[in-house]
């Protein structure tokens, strides 16, 4: 009788485990596991604090990123698996965004959710081509307001009594570009 119970539980857990949608999370890696890049700690200049390396494996691509603090701003630089720079960005607050642009964000979220909360906001400088990589890099560290800037907003909201956690991208004028569903925080560790 015990064998039957154990095998039923095992089959249930096995079937349940494979039925879950698997979306990978970003996880921290060692510097030696990171692809060779041009922009490392020595080329970024002084005052770099807490340089960390991350890898995110999604269904369609692998993205590497470095996160660090410089001059009281939290930066993130994303790279392809070949080590080519994709974008440079840093965390911002509501006061850093022009008022009319932020009003467009609020209008969009008020129309999309019953209730919502802004979790995080980043200003991104995407690299359009390999030739413009150094110019984009310097523009990001000068904090220039350019028409090519993208805003990435992480929002928690409720829609029809269902909680959602999503990432939104908007243009410099506040026009919606795209969105991506996010997983909730990972609590797979033991908390003491």
Give pLDDT tens digits along the chain (192 positions).
Answer: 565 554 444 444 444 444 344 455 788 999 899 998 888 777 777 788 889 999 988 767 889 999 999 888 999 999 998 989 999 999 999 999 999 999 999 999 999 999 999 999 999 999 988 888 889 988 998 888 899 999 999 999 999 989 999 999 999 999 999 998 887 666 666 565
Distance CA 68, CA 74 (A): 6
The pTM for the full model equals: 0.80
Tokens of 111: 């129309």
Give the count of beta carbons closer than 10 Å to the beta carbon of residue 146.
10
Which domains are delineated in the chain? 28-181 (3.10.450)
């Amino acid at each position: 009788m015990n064998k039957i119970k154990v095998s039923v539980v095992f089959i249930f857990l096995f079937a349940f485990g494979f039925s879950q949608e698997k979306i990978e999370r970003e996880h921290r890696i060692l510097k030696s596991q990171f692809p060779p890049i041009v922009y490392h700690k020595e080329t970024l200049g002084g005052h770099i604090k807490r340089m960390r390396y991350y890898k995110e494996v999604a269904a369609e691509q692998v993205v590497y990123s470095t996160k660090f603090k410089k001059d009281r701003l939290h930066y993130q630089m994303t790279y392809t698996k070949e080590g080519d720079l994709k974008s440079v960005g840093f965390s911002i607050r509501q006061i850093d965004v022009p008022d009319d642009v932020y009003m467009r964000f609020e209008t969009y979220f008020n129309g999309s959710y019953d209730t919502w909360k802004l979790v995080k906001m980043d200003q991104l400088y995407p690299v359009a081509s390999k030739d413009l990589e150094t110019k984009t890099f310097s523009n990001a560290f000068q904090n220039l307001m350019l028409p090519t800037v993208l805003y990435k907003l992480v929002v928690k909201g409720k829609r029809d009594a269902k909680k959602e956690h999503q990432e939104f991208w908007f243009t410099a004028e506040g026009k919606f570009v795209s969105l991506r569903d996010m997983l909730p925080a990972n609590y797979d560790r033991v908390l003491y």
